[in-house]
Amino acid sequence: MDNTSTLYRAAGIPAMQNKLFSTRAEALAAPSASLELCQDDTGLVFNRCFDPAVIAYNYSYQNDQGHSLQFQHHLDEVCGICCRYLTAKDSLIVDVGCGKGGFVELLREKGLNAIGYDKAYQGSRPYIRKSFFSIDSHERGDIITLRHVLEHIPSPWQFLDSIAAANGYQGLLYVEVPDLEWILEHRAYFDLFHEHVNYFRAVDFLRRFGDGVIFQSKSFGGQYLSVIINLESFRGLSQSLLLRESNSGLQVAFDKLCEHEAMSYAALAESHEIVLWGAAAKGVVFAAKLPEAIKHKLIYAIDINPSKQGHFMPLSGVEVLGPTTGVARLNPFSLVVIMNPNYEEEIRESLPHGQPCLVLH
């Protein structure tokens, strides 16, 4: 079976889509990278062109979505899922790869016993460890949470094996990742990033862990896939995984995604002026891939995250403004492209009545 056939290619995209730049010149000179999505023998879709040398997570990396009420509602739902599986009030939740610690803080605000691990953490909370979670860690969780980490990790199954071993093969593991099925169904080509090494479907976890998967759901408007795995099921887990199914269905889905990508940009050709609402990953990729003929029409982007405002998007060099400033600069004929349909209602409430909009469904 051929495991090297390419499903999707893209070149000249940002190496890191959530990196901030303080000047347009720095943004235009940002590192670029390529995508070549393939399917391995286990069925997992991965980026064969992933280059770890251009990835560096530091203070300039900004992917916080917590300023949105919709996203806060999503995090509340995740808290509720964790609570359902806690065996006692003082059960420990360990958030691995906790970033800036926002989810840990939310759990603790709800009275839950939560700590975090992230080597790149820059705060001073004593309950967040500035280290990797490993066999040498002194805490073991009743629930380990791994939110939007696994898609960034080469050799993801081995990484999960190490998490299970570090926790003594006890407790539960909550994993949340972008859902490849949603990306393909909605032709969301702007959700394909160099920074994401892996692209998961529900069947990938079932094929790997079988009955060890005790919970599975879609969340955040279907964009995210959530699974809970019993860590005890990792003991003696066979390394020889079931072979994948034919990739013919996947190839058709990716071909349709490519067609939609071309049509989306063609639909903007008649626009006089374009403003993006959403300067996170989707907006960054959308802007970077704009055809030369319409790049000059994109005049700025709007984002609710204060940490993004006043900065510039990688490769495109598009300036990011706050909602107040950005809306004030709109012309009646400016086309506002809403990058994430989950935020459409919030955004429309901020726009002038009758403002032209394109929602990227």
The mean pLDDT of 10-31, rounded to a whole number, is: 92
**CA distance readout (Å), 310 to 23, 305, 313:** 9, 11, 10
What confidence score (pLDDT) does residue 66 get?
Answer: 47
Q: Which CATH class is domain 270-359?
A: alpha beta
CATH 3.40.50.720 region(s) of the chain? 270-359
CATH 3.40.50.150 region(s) of the chain? 1-266
Which pTM was predicted? 0.89
What confidence score (pLDDT) does residue 42 get?
Answer: 83
What confidence score (pLDDT) does residue 2 get?
Answer: 45
Q: Which residue has the higher pLDDT, 47 or 69?
A: 47
Architecture of domain 1-266: 3-Layer(aba) Sandwich (3.40)
Q: Yes or no: say if 221 and 179 are a contact pair by the CB < 8 Å rule.
A: no
The mean pLDDT of 168-196, rounded to a whole number, is: 95
User: How do residues 270-282 score in pLDDT, each as one tens digit?
Assistant: 899 999 999 988 9
User: How do residues 126-162 score in pLDDT, each as one tens digit?
Assistant: 999 999 999 888 889 999 999 999 999 999 999 999 9
Geometric angle at alpha carbon 170, from 165 and 173, rounded to 5°: 80
DSSP annotation string for 68-79: SHHHHHHHHHHH
What confidence score (pLDDT) does residue 154 get?
Answer: 93
Beta bridge partners of 213: 229
DSSP annotation string for 168-183: TT-SEEEEEEEBHHHH
Burial of 235 (0-12, 13-18, 19+ CB in 10 A): exposed
Q: Count CB-CB contacts under 10 A for residue 333.
A: 10
What confidence score (pLDDT) does residue 191 get?
Answer: 93
What confidence score (pLDDT) does residue 137 get?
Answer: 86
What confidence score (pLDDT) does residue 119 get?
Answer: 86
Q: Yes or no: say if 218 and 177 are a contact pair by the CB < 8 Å rule.
A: no
